[in-house]
Amino acid sequence: MDTVHIYQDPDICHRLWERFWPKSCIFDLWPVRACFMKHYRRPLFFMLAGKDRRESRLLALNWIEEESVFGHFPGEIWQGKTWLEQNKITGTGRQSLQMLLDHLPEKCFVRYIDGDFLPAWKSDISVDEIGYLFFPPQYNFSFENYKNAFTRKSRKNIDREINRLHAQNVAFRHNHMADVGRMFEMNLSAFEEMSYFYDRRFFNAFIDLIAFLDQHHLLRLTSVTIGGRLAAVDVGALWNNTYTILAGGTDPNFPGVAKLINFHHIEWACRQRLAAVDFLCGDFNWKSRFRLHPRPLYKICSPEIDAAAGFQDRERMLGCAI
């Protein structure tokens, strides 16, 4: 008989996650999500739909009390929206997927769903936001090939801006952990209450996330100094041959430094022959100007939730804008 089971015990939910979830991106790792689970303490609501082990679907939800809505696990929010991307409805079977969707809670707002885990036949599942990626293989792992894809005028403008910074003595350093605190300071100074880090739960969870990434040799902390002064810091993670830029901060006294550090990420990814660099969702138009590849992520939500949820660009909260 087809059934939909609800699981709320943390140990059982952990086992279900490990059984059903792929490990394709950094956000698929349970310890990454657990950093936020620890500080947000949301009641778990894992939905398992299906008739047997071969055809079953899992959707990992939490009850988010202050928003009165079910959202994707672990329910980390600021300004009413979640942050972790590439959420999924995992498993197999069209019938079990339909059953799961038919039994969703009345108030539900599940964001940043990976389109590869959604059926083409579900026309009522809409685009949430657009993520942006760089694919080094597209340019034969050559940063010069990538730069040559820009128009001549664009290349000249970019070179002029970058060279102006290099004339002030630019240097890069990596995994200099003392720079993490300054990254938080620059981000909060720029965006104040609009920064995710303004919420102490997110701030503390992100500190735990950095510690986990560092402990397991997945962290790439990139810092830029100009004239000996710290001008920009980005936190990234390397997993499954994909480099994900998670957050950052810049000193406004060095205009153009965000462009400089992002080109550094792209050049490094080409040298390392990585499969992709994920710059996540949100755009102040710079990502399209950088010729990044757009990837839509999707959402499932009840109509009243969708109507009330205004768009808030992720860049304003994580400080990666140019």
Question: Pick from 317, 79, 314, 321: which is nearest to 192 by CA?
Answer: 317
- Whole-structure pTM value: 0.91
pLDDT at 122: 58
Contact call for residues 71 and 61 (beta carbons, < 8 A):
yes
Q: Is the pLDDT of residue 315 over 80?
A: no
Contact call for residues 28 and 86 (beta carbons, < 8 A):
yes
| Cα–Cα distance, 313 to 129 (Å, whole number) | 9
Q: Is the pLDDT of residue 317 over 60?
A: no
* Three-state secondary structure call for residue 70: strand
pLDDT tens for residues 188-240? 999 999 999 999 999 999 999 999 999 999 999 999 999 999 999 999 999 99
| Cα–Cα distance, 220 to 243 (Å, whole number) | 9
Q: How far is CA 182 from CA 22, 219, 297, in A?
A: 34, 17, 31
CATH architecture of 133-295: 3-Layer(aba) Sandwich (3.40)
Contact call for residues 254 and 231 (beta carbons, < 8 A):
yes
pLDDT tens for residues 87-118? 999 988 888 888 898 899 999 999 999 998 88
User: Where in the chain are the domains?
Assistant: 3-129+297-310, 133-295
What is the average per-residue pLDDT within 313-317? 44
